[in-house]
A and B are shown apart, each in its own frame.
Chain A
Amino acid sequence: MASEVHVETLAVREQFDTASQQKNASTLGMWVFLITEIMFFGGMFLAYTAYRSWYPNVFGAASRTLNATIGAINTAVLLCSSYTMVLAVRAGQLGRRKTIMLFLVLTIILGFVFLGIKGYEWWEKFEEHHVPGASFHLEGTPLQGQAQLFFSLYFAMTGLHALHMVVGVGIMSYLLYQTYVGKYTAEYYTPIDVGGLYWHFVDIIWIYLFPLLYLIDRHGPKP
């Protein structure tokens, strides 16, 4: 059974001339998917930019209620997970099975840490009545509708990002199992490489979410 799987993954499919051409095609395919993801998130970034330009005062006041320290810590956690991810890919290039597994486990743990901190932040929002809906209230502004718009975008964007993190943790768990059963070698580790591209992409989305949601309206009085 194991050897059967091994032969299938290593073989160059008939449409490719070489193994490296086959790998390049996989990489390109992942990038094309990531471009669709850029456009997907891009729509939300555009909505945020447009409404922020229309309602700068309320968006600024709402943004200042977010906890920038927790946001910065979560950014650091995610950057560390990208570091462990790239080291897992490097171990894949060198065919070091145990090192791949070590760094995939670290990446998964850091992914859960990020989601845990994110969950705590969302819980805080429920406590503070900053979740859009019947009990929503942002102190210090009569424009509750515009404030709800900010928090709707906040939850949609961070929620969609967190969903991608959950999917990423799932992919890493799958790769961990496949590495455990010995599917990957220095000659064939394409899924780890391509999974790494996805993980780093999700990191890049957060690299933009953090300053845009938490940082750019910090100066000025607290509402």
Chain B
Amino acid sequence: MSERTEHVDSVATYTIVWVSLLIATAVTSAVAFIDLGPFSVVVALAIAVLKMLLVALFFMHVRHSTKLTRLVVMGGLMWLGILITLSMADFITRGWIGVPGK
């Protein structure tokens, strides 16, 4: 029989993660009203990625999950990266070169 037992995290761990998420929300809201130029997107997305990692690793138990599950999660994010990167490579560069006759 399998020896693997269910990993039970402490309430303290979840509480720390929850408070961190609320702090990150306050920070991202406050930073939004400072003019950072193009970096406001970078900062907002960096904080969003941090919050996603906290939710996924702790609340969704990815840090205790099987290797196969982790592989599927990473694979999904990779496909999302392909969707956005390749599509934006098209949309952003359309105006770069003049098209004869257009």
Contact = CB atoms under 8 A, between A and B. Distances in A.
Given A27-B69, A38-B77, A87-B14, A43 B83 contact: yes
A208 B48 contact: yes
B2 A21 contact: yes
A27 B70 CA distance: 11
Contacts of B1: 18
List of 5 A-B pairs having minimum Cβ-Cβ separation, nearest first: A35-B76, A215-B32, A211-B44, A219-B35, A83-B18
A212 B32 contact: no
Interface of A: 17-18, 20-21, 24, 27-28, 31-32, 34-35, 38-39, 42-43, 45-46, 49-50, 53-54, 68, 72, 75-76, 79-80, 82-83, 85-87, 90, 93-94, 193, 196-197, 200-201, 203-204, 207-208, 210-212, 214-220
B32 A31 contact: no
A68 B29 contact: yes
Q: How many B residues touch the partner, as a band?
A: 35 or more
Q: Is the interface of A mostly helix, strand, loop or mixed?
A: helix
B18 A80 contact: yes
B59 A72 contact: no
Contacts of A35: 72-73, 75-76, 79
